[in-house]
Structure 1
Amino acid sequence: MGRSHYRLAHPMVLLAAGALLVAGILLVLGHDQSVAILATGVIAFVVAVTAKDMIKHMMRGHWGLDILAVVAMVATVLVGEYLAGLIIVLMLTGGEALEKMAENKASRELDTLISRAPAFAHRRKPQDGQIVRIPVDDVQVGDVLLVRSSEVLPVDGVVLSERATVDESSVTGEPIPVTRLRGAQVLSGAVNGSETFSMRATATAADSHYASIVQLVREAVASRAPIVRLADRYAVPFTAVSLLIAGIAWYLSGDPVRFAEVLVVATPCPLLIAAPVAFMGGMSSAARVNVIVKEGGTSEKLARLRAAGLDKTGTLTQGRPVVTGIRGYSRSAADTLAHAAAAEQYSVHVFAEPIIRVAREQGLDLPPVRSAEELATNGVAAVLADGSEVRVGKARFVQEVTDHDPELNLEPGVAAVHVAVAGKLAGVLLLSDPVREDASETLKLLREQGITDIFMVTGDVESTARSVGDAVGIQRIYAEMTPQQKVEVVQSNTSRPVLMVGDGINDAPVLAASDVGVAMGARGATAASESASAVITSDSLARLPDVIDISKRTVRIALQSIWLGIVISVALMLVAAVGYLPAVAGALLQEVVDLVAIVSALRALSTHKKVPSVRRNVASPELHSARPGAIGPS
């Protein structure tokens, strides 16, 4: 079924079915002339609709497979095979319904995620404390919300009650309910346990974590897989072969009916149905292992990857650094920490949260900030209320306003965050970010999948990057890279297609510039997620080889289904060419070919069951016990 038929509505299917039924009755009653008039009119109408869009596509250089269907329908009318022509019409219009049914099954998990998005919230009125139900879009930052037992958290927020037990499997993939104490962050889309609790909204519904995941899913459902264009590339040779077989059959038999009989079974529906159904199934399987693939074209590229670049912080490391020490210079350790925390409130870097947390744990008063700006891969520059400037970040960024370059002699894996206040080096914060436990195994799986060119691209300093690279087995390391330099590294890589994995705002440009960008989106990373082609929604790097494996299997299934349709069609054409397949029987058999192609393509729905982490048992428990409807396997 070609692109022009995607817009044919169900009334067209009813028209074709009704015309076929009436024609059959008329034939039984002996009204052959009425059958000819009815069939000719219906077929002419469908040919006109099909040809109109077909010509538009041909003028744009797209030679689709619809030309075969048009020639076949015209041929049936010219040789008087009216029932066969009506069956082709029914096949073309009914093929859309079959495809939609298959797509709906393939996108079931994605649709479920969208449908369970929170719609309402219970807000506590500040005047009298009464609880009112409001649309989730009316929630404002700072609102106090009441979340009842088994309700879905409407927005992101912090817990105000003593504690809250929530099921976050739908947003993080972690199947075990977690307990969040007062002041802890909770994510929209999580499900409350048995106890009602209060929370304060820290984001609107549109800016919350679950809304970003839903948006990614909507993009995935609405996308069109480029491999459908691969099916279109079969149009010219398939059409030529079909017309050649039909022409030879006509020439050798001397019967023009033989020409029509061959073309009846040459209609190209299986070629165009198989690819989109397979890719929808593959995207659904990817969602079952906590990866949102935004479009089918991403799956095709993932299947052909030859190189992979990875960011360090939050990708190869856990992204949960801890402050291990503070060295004061012009100011005390406490004063250095307070000024750093004040500036880091305006940063999205993974080092910001632990610095702020330690300052609050120590009960430090943070100086008020008038304005602040984050410079990606460098740090944060803030202006305090008294007019003095605070810089927090890399040594070279801080040295722009100070001349102090202390000898730190850091241990491997320890990062230094320099702090300058009013043009003087206040001190240095030491942080450590452990390597992910699954990083080495993940890289091993990538190499086994044919991705032998693996490198690290990071904004961190050489020594820290090298220590992480040694721990996970990466030799080629690009350290202290700016966002632009990261883009240049990836674009200049000779092995293609190239994958890039990152999690921060500074990774957004390189994710967009790479052939396939994958964002580690479990803890936000909005800019990275928007720029990426795919998003890992659970905090596990092991999902990367999983989605690559799913993509390879999906492409294989799509191509197998396409070729299955071609082989069966050619076989039926040869049978028709020697006169053993009447036009009506051929048209009915073509419907069977459609069903075979769809069933074959739907095998992609189960590709997640054979991913590397399941086979090798290196996956987290989320692959075995996430609830139905979650972004994760059932």
Structure 2
Amino acid sequence: MAEGINESFAKVLQRWTTHNNRRAENMNNRLQLGIAGLAIVAITLHLWLRFGMTIDGDVAGVAIRDFPLLIALVLGGVPLVWNLLVKLFRAEFGSDLLAGISIVTGVLLGEYLAATIVVLMLSGGEALESYAVRSASSVLRALANRMPAIAIRQVGDTTEEIPLDEIAIGDTVLILPHKVCPVDATVVSGRGTMDESYLTGEPYRMSKTPGSLVLSGAINGDSALVVRADKRAVDSRYAKIMEVMESSQQNRPKIRRLGDQLGAFYTPLAVLIGVAAWVASGDPVRFLSVMVVATPCPLLIAIPVAILGAISLSARRSIIIRDPSVLEQVDRCKTMIFDKTGTLTYGRPKLVEQLVDPNQDAARVLTLVASLERYSKHPLAEAIVSAAAQSETSSSDTLLSVSEISEPPGAGLRGIVDGHEMQITSRKKLLAKGGGWAERLPEQSGGLECVILIDGEYAATYRLRDSPRSEGHSFVDHLDDRHGVNRVILLSGDRTSEVQYLGEQVGITECLGDQSPEDKLRFVTEQTKAAKTVFVGDGINDAPALMAATVGIAFGQNSDVTTEAAGVVILDSSLARVDELMHISRRMRRIALQSAVGGMTLSVIGMLIASAGYLPPVAGAIAQEAIDVVAVLNALRVAWAPKSLTDF
């Protein structure tokens, strides 16, 4: 009992801590947005008073037109500088620290406009960064919003609506068509299908009959089902998914931004040059001159401009960048992990092979099977009916009459078609009956299959697969040579045999099947600790792994949860778009480095000139502006589309 109390207390404490952390993050984000807004208003008023009203008066030696800037610097600049001082005491030397020194230097020099612009850049950048981080919390909200708030409990001949948390084990629950299943349960009455792809990764609707298990979060099909609750809502599969998601959010990898990496070197160098100039000359103005020239605008402006250009170019290629930091990371990742369904495959199963007994006519068998399958709720039935419709010798117009249909749970499909007794079952169930069937069946291979008996005699074996994308093999092959990806892994909730078969088709040797969302999260987390990772998926079951990877890429817009969890959403589901993203990232990083390093090099030259006393503060500010213009103009090139963005 004491152990249970301690566990409950730990959970309460964890939730309280998480809540407080989120509240602090939200408050900080609102503060940054407020400071950015105040800076914009102050700059606008200053320019209006300076050029629109042409007011030249002053109060206590301060020009009237500078008062809005002073207000912004006091209310916005002081908190920012204080936070940067805290970083200084922690020995965290980023580019933002030098920006803080620039704010102070600008105030001391009377360059209030320049100081306020730096305040705007700092606060606006932090607000955007906070937005990217907060997107993880929106995943949990999307998950929570997906579940119904109430359930319909059936008591005798009556029904009642109750809150979800009041469902008890053994309660009978009615699930209406197209509604979300509230708990893990067993079907009591009704026949239909459910979409469980969010959890299993299977691209099919799963048939449900009395005795079938249903999972919380699954979407019901066209028929109402009555189920018996096997677990409470808080213990059901969907609740576990949310727990996994929250865990992956708390352990999301920390990414060190390009500007911070460069700033860690540039900031102490600039301060060292400034202090050396002051000490050598005995003139503090030399320090101020160096700091003005050292303002890290190539880092604070050129890199964000390059990132915005890459975001714009990506959007024109149907690639939505939700977290800008992925642009700095995706082309530097060494491990790429794929979900199977909908990423390396098209997510649509097809009949790919018909192994027909020599004594049977293939077209006739297909017509008989399709005639029966059109009444089935089995997930593969649609593929067989579709194959018959596309066949030259069999079509939906030639399907035959069916009677005495039977599809008991787990026993396959039976029926009378045009006077013939038909049975569609699995290899495993047929062999379990004995009778020497093994000698008549073809050799087993990977993928899905069904065995057809006509009038008690073996007629055919049909093999069905979710077709691999046509560009899959060439894409996988080029990752190592062209992008430095030395490990490609296929990680799926599908059957292991099907996963391995697909791996053979696309050239992936490291394949793991039958993976739950927890398994995926655990695996991706371990791989991310060893090397930077990219995870590509398209279902809710992929969301935890998308968040745990260095870069998460979601295909399509099938799930709000998935797109919220991913750093990148590819609307036009194609591996070519993934390649384009990697090339956009590489090109953005190259141009951003050109702008930042080139700008910093020119700034260092300017700092050395200023330290020698040949560049006073005003001239230094002008020189820095010229450097900024060059760096920003170069960064703008990122938005220009090159001739080609793919190389496979």
- Report the TM-score when normalising by structure 2: 0.56
Q: How does 1:201-600 map to 2 (within 5 A)?
A: 229-232=257-260, 235=263, 237-323=265-351, 324-325=353-354, 344=377, 354-355=383-384, 357=386, 362=396, 407=438, 408-409=441-442, 415-416=448-449, 430-448=463-481, 449-461=483-495, 463-493=497-527, 496-504=531-539, 506-521=541-556, 524=558, 528-600=562-634
Give the number of the structure whose alpha-carbon radius of gyration is greater: 2
Change in Cα spacing, 1:600 to 1:283, as seen in structure 2 (3 Å) is same
Q: Is the 1:415–1:431 contact (alpha carbons within 8 Å) kept by the matching residues of 2?
A: yes
Q: Is the 2:350–2:467 contact (alpha carbons within 8 Å) kept by the matching residues of 1?
A: no
Q: 2:73 aligned with 1:47, yes or no?
A: yes
Change in Cα spacing, 1:32 to 1:283, as seen in structure 2 (3 Å) is closer
SS of equivalent to 2:294: coil
Q: Return the alpha-carbon distance in structure 1 between the equivalents of residues 336 and 608 of structure 2.
A: 47
Q: Is the 1:289–1:608 contact (alpha carbons within 8 Å) kept by the matching residues of 2?
A: no
Post-superposition Cα deviations, 1:204-254, rounded to whole Å, max 9, x if no partner, equal xxxxxxxxxxxxxxxxxxxxx987854245556544333332232223333
Q: Return the alpha-carbon distance in structure 2 between the equivalents of residues 610 and 247 of structure 1.
A: 48
Q: In the alignment, which of 54, 67, 88 is matched to residue 114 of structure 2?
A: 88
Post-superposition Cα deviations, 1:533-556, rounded to whole Å, max 9, x if no partner, equal 323322432222221122122223
Q: Is the 1:227–1:275 contact (alpha carbons within 8 Å) kept by the matching residues of 2?
A: no
Q: Return the alpha-carbon distance in structure 2 between the equivalents of residues 578 and 259 of structure 1.
A: 11
SS of equivalent to 2:277: helix
Letter in 2 for 1:570: V
Q: Return the alpha-carbon distance in structure 1 between the equivalents of residues 436 and 323 of structure 2.
A: 48
Q: Is the 1:265–1:587 contact (alpha carbons within 8 Å) kept by the matching residues of 2?
A: yes
Q: Return the alpha-carbon distance in structure 1 between the equivalents of residues 524 and 480 of structure 2.
A: 18
SS of equivalent to 2:332: coil
Shift of 1:443: 1.3
Q: Is the 1:303–1:555 contact (alpha carbons within 8 Å) kept by the matching residues of 2?
A: no
SS of equivalent to 1:581: coil
Shift of 1:94: 8.0
- What residue in structure 1 maps to residue 197 of structure 2? none
Letter in 1 for 2:82: I
Q: Is the 1:288–1:608 contact (alpha carbons within 8 Å) kept by the matching residues of 2?
A: no
Q: Return the alpha-carbon distance in structure 2 between the equivalents of residues 430 and 560 of structure 1.
A: 54
Shift of 1:576: 1.1
Q: In the alignment, which of 31, 40, 43 is matched to residue 10 of structure 1?
A: 40
List gaps (5 residues or longer) in structure 1.
100-140, 143-201, 203-224, 374-378, 383-391, 420-426, 619-634
Q: Return the alpha-carbon distance in structure 2 between the equivalents of residues 565 and 459 of structure 1.
A: 49
Post-superposition Cα deviations, 1:315-352, rounded to whole Å, max 9, x if no partner, equal 33444432355999xxx98897688666758x7xxx57
Shift of 1:446: 0.9
SS of equivalent to 2:572: coil
Q: Is the 1:343–1:380 contact (alpha carbons within 8 Å) kept by the matching residues of 2?
A: no
Letter in 2 for 1:309: I
Q: Return the alpha-carbon distance in structure 1 between the equivalents of residues 447 and 520 of structure 2.
A: 22
Q: After the TM superposition, which of the residue ranges 309-318 and 537-546 deviates more from structure 2?
A: 309-318
Shift of 1:307: 1.5
SS of equivalent to 1:440: helix
SS of equivalent to 2:464: strand
Post-superposition Cα deviations, 1:398-434, rounded to whole Å, max 9, x if no partner, equal 89x9999975535756522689xxxxxxx98632444
Shift of 1:580: 1.4
Shift of 1:605: 1.4
- What residue in structure 2 maps to residue 108 of structure 1? none
Q: After the TM superposition, which of the residue ranges 15-24 and 490-499 deviates more from structure 2?
A: 15-24
SS of equivalent to 1:10: helix
Q: After the TM superposition, which of the residue ranges 528-537 and 300-309 deviates more from structure 2?
A: 528-537
Q: Is the 1:306–1:495 contact (alpha carbons within 8 Å) kept by the matching residues of 2?
A: no
Q: How does 1:28-67 map to 2 (within 5 A)?
A: 44-48=70-74, 49-56=76-83, 59=86, 65=95
Change in Cα spacing, 1:41 to 1:530, as seen in structure 2 (3 Å) is closer
Letter in 1 for 2:44: L
Q: Return the alpha-carbon distance in structure 1 between the equivalents of residues 542 and 382 of structure 2.
A: 18
Q: Is the 2:556–2:570 contact (alpha carbons within 8 Å) kept by the matching residues of 1?
A: yes
Shift of 1:306: 0.9
Q: Is the 1:521–1:535 contact (alpha carbons within 8 Å) kept by the matching residues of 2?
A: yes
Change in Cα spacing, 1:352 to 1:290, as seen in structure 2 (3 Å) is farther
Q: Return the alpha-carbon distance in structure 2 between the equivalents of residues 342 and 227 of structure 1.
A: 53
SS of equivalent to 1:247: helix
Q: Return the alpha-carbon distance in structure 2 between the equivalents of residues 255 and 22 of structure 1.
A: 38
Change in Cα spacing, 1:249 to 1:39, as seen in structure 2 (3 Å) is farther
SS of equivalent to 1:542: helix
Shift of 1:565: 3.0
Change in Cα spacing, 1:591 to 1:90, as seen in structure 2 (3 Å) is farther
- Report the TM-score when normalising by structure 1: 0.57
Q: Return the alpha-carbon distance in structure 2 between the equivalents of residues 97 and 343 of structure 1.
A: 60
Q: Return the alpha-carbon distance in structure 2 between the equivalents of residues 308 and 77 of structure 1.
A: 49
Aligned residue pair count = 456
Shift of 1:305: 1.3
Change in Cα spacing, 1:415 to 1:429, as seen in structure 2 (3 Å) is same
Q: How does 1:121-200 map to 2 (within 5 A)?
A: none
Q: Is the 1:88–1:264 contact (alpha carbons within 8 Å) kept by the matching residues of 2?
A: no
Change in Cα spacing, 1:417 to 1:457, as seen in structure 2 (3 Å) is farther
Identity %: 31
Shift of 1:67: 5.2
Q: Return the alpha-carbon distance in structure 2 between the equivalents of residues 487 and 327 of structure 1.
A: 43
Letter in 2 for 1:278: A
Shift of 1:583: 1.5
Change in Cα spacing, 1:497 to 1:580, as seen in structure 2 (3 Å) is same
Report the RMSD for the aligned CA atoms in angstroms. 5.2
Change in Cα spacing, 1:446 to 1:15, as seen in structure 2 (3 Å) is same
